[in-house]
């Protein structure tokens, strides 16, 4: 990109390499490069000091790549936080010296996180497909029960069907009608990071939020954005 090569040509080359070396299925190669390519190119073009070693240490840590640079290894010093931390230790010490009352006000809280609802989940679809995520209506249906996606979900490379999410909420609402607070700490969106679209992410977040509110209309909900809510993921 820094030598003047066109972005489209670079991305086509990366897509070709991804497919040729079978790094991922063709659909994933195309989708991942199309979504993440422009962002990575922008970073490389704007951060002139980025080297191959630094890029590897930032992007490919999962395969053991590292870089000895302050841009990757941060030493964060927050003096305000240190003061707050010292105050917290003091308060904790004081509270431990007090007698905790046996009886007192209580509150029931529901914590919902990382449900990754997949609107494309299909019962009986292939649960051992070539993609990083399976059990979807696009995956070929199989006659083998051992590889078919279960009705309420599957422990293999699959996310959660919507009806399982709704059934769980219905059961919780019935058995715990006195829930007052709900912590919803993100990652409602499925793991199909190569084919996400902003509109689809917004729809899933909205549908899940509406469903939670429908079963718990009197509870106060505190939502948090997860890394999968963004498009592309983690950005």
pLDDT tens for the chain, 235 residues long, are 555 568 888 899 999 999 999 988 999 999 999 999 998 888 888 877 777 777 777 777 777 777 776 666 666 666 566 677 777 777 777 666 666 666 778 899 999 999 999 999 999 999 998 888 999 987 666 667 788 999 999 999 999 999 999 999 999 999 999 999 999 999 999 999 999 999 999 999 999 999 999 999 999 999 999 999 999 998 8
Cis peptide before 165 (omega within 30 of 0): no
Specify whether the CB–CB gap between 134 and 111 falls below 8 A: no
Whats the size of the chain, residue-wise?
235
pLDDT for 76-89, tens place per residue? 666 566 677 777 77
Q: Per-residue pLDDT tens for 8-36?
A: 888 999 999 999 999 889 999 999 999 99
Rg of the chain over Cα atoms, rounded to whole angstroms, equals 23
CA distances in angstroms from 50 to 46, 68, 103, listed in the order given: 9, 12, 59
Partner residues linked to 96 by β-bridges: none
Q: Which residues make beta-bridge pairs with 136? A: 121
Cα–Cα distance for residue pair 136/116, rounded to 1 Å: 13
CA-to-CA distance for 5 and 37, rounded, in angstroms? 14
| Site of tokens 């003096």 | 79
pTM assigned to the model: 0.78
Residue 139: partners with Cβ closer than 8 Å, 6 or more residues away: 122, 125, 126, 129, 131
* 216 half-sphere exposure, CB direction, 13 A CA radius: 28
């Amino acid at each position: 990109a820094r030598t003047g090569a066109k972005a489209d040509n670079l991305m086509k080359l990366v897509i070709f390499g991804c497919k040729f070396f079978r790094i991922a299925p063709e659909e994933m190669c195309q989708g991942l490069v199309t979504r993440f390519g422009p962002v990575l190119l922008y970073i490389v073009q704007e951060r002139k000091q980025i080297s191959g070693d630094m890029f590897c240490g930032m992007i490919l840590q999962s395969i053991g790549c590292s870089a000895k640079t302050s841009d990757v290894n941060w030493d964060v010093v927050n003096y305000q936080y240190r003061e707050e931390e010292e105050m917290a230790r003091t308060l904790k010490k004081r509270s431990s010296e007090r007698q905790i009352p046996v009886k007192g006000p209580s509150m029931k809280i529901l914590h919902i996180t990382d449900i990754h609802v997949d609107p494309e989940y299909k019962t009986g679809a292939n649960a051992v497909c070539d993609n990083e995520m399976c059990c979807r209506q696009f995956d070929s249906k199989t006659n083998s029960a051992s590889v078919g996606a279960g009705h309420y979900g599957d422990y293999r490379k699959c996310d959660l069907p919507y009806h399982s999410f709704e059934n769980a909420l219905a059961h919780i609402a019935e058995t715990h009608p006195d829930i007052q607070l709900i912590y919803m700490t993100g990652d409602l969106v499925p793991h199909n990071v190569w084919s996400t679209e902003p509109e689809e992410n917004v729809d899933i977040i909205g549908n899940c939020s509406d469903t939670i509110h429908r079963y718990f209309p009197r509870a106060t909900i505190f939502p948090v954005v997860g890394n999968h809510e963004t498009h592309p993921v983690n950005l």
